[in-house]
Amino acid sequence: MIAKLTGLIDQCGSDWAVIDVSGVGYLVYCSARTLGRLVPGEAASLVIETHVREDHIHLYGFLDEAERAWFKLLTTVQGVGAKVGLGILSVLSGDELLQAIAAADKATITRAPGVGPKLAVRLLSELKDKVATMALGPVAVLDGEASPQSGASGAISEAVSALVNLGYSASDAYSAVSHAATKLGEDASLEELIRGGLGELAPRQRGIS
């Protein structure tokens, strides 16, 4: 299996690039976000997800492990194939996806090509608990792969972990802290996020929508 390619970008298309590795050109399908960082004639290194089927072998390229992990997670949802997965990543960054899933924001998810209302609901439903675990502890976890959290994301992670330690579920804690972070802004402290998260959870406990 090919896991990484490093070489010169030979050419780029609407959803693909050809990377020349020692004279061999590899056709790699990428999100628009990744393609926007590739320049023909310049060197690049792409993390690769290899899909082997009876009738083809397709290579999907990503600038970093985080984007590949999101791709793998998205494509676990029924109805989300490789093309739709790349389409979602073309429109939404990892942080935007986290926020949309935590807030059950169907409108944001349907901005991606190929994602209608029904598929958006399925995505939000199936990924809510999986994504919530990403906010626990000092690292974010996607499909078993970890990456450091820092800045605002790190504070959110710590706030969620604190609420989970108080007995709230991971999905409820992440949703509450995400809403609080949106209201408080990116400079919010850990203490403010915890208080804001608790404030979001209080009406839910009383049964107020």
Q: Which of 39, 43, 91, 42 is nearest to 67 (CA)?
A: 91
Q: Are 67 and 150 in contact (CB under 8 A)?
A: no
Instruction: DSSP letter for 109, please.
Output: H
Could you report how far apart the first and last alpha carbons of the chain are, in Å? 49
**Where in the chain are the domains?**
4-63, 65-132, 149-209
In what helix (H) or strand (E) does residue 137 lie, and over which residues does it extend? none
Q: Global pTM?
A: 0.69
pLDDT in tens, 83-131: 999 999 999 988 788 778 877 889 999 999 999 999 999 999 998 877 7
Residue 12's CB: how many other CB atoms inside 10 A? 17
In this predicted structure, what is the pLDDT of residue 158? Answer: 83
The pLDDT assigned to 177 comes to 86
- Residues 133-144 pLDDT 10s: 555 543 333 333
CATH class of 149-209: mainly alpha
- Report domain 65-132's class: mainly alpha
3-class secondary-structure state, position 206:
coil
In 3D, which of 157, 159, 108, 152 has the Cα closest to residue 137? 157
pLDDT at 119: 96
pLDDT at residue 175 in the model: 80
**pLDDT for res 131:** 74
Domain 4-63: CATH architecture, name and number where available = Beta Barrel (2.40)
**Residue that the structure tokens 């999100």 belong to:** 31
In the chain (209 residues long), the average pLDDT of successive 10-residue segments reads 94 97 97 96 97 92 92 94 96 85 87 95 87 51 39 73 82 82 85 90 61
Q: Specify the pLDDT at position 33.
A: 93
185's torsion region: left (phi>0), alpha (psi -120 to 50) or beta?
A: left
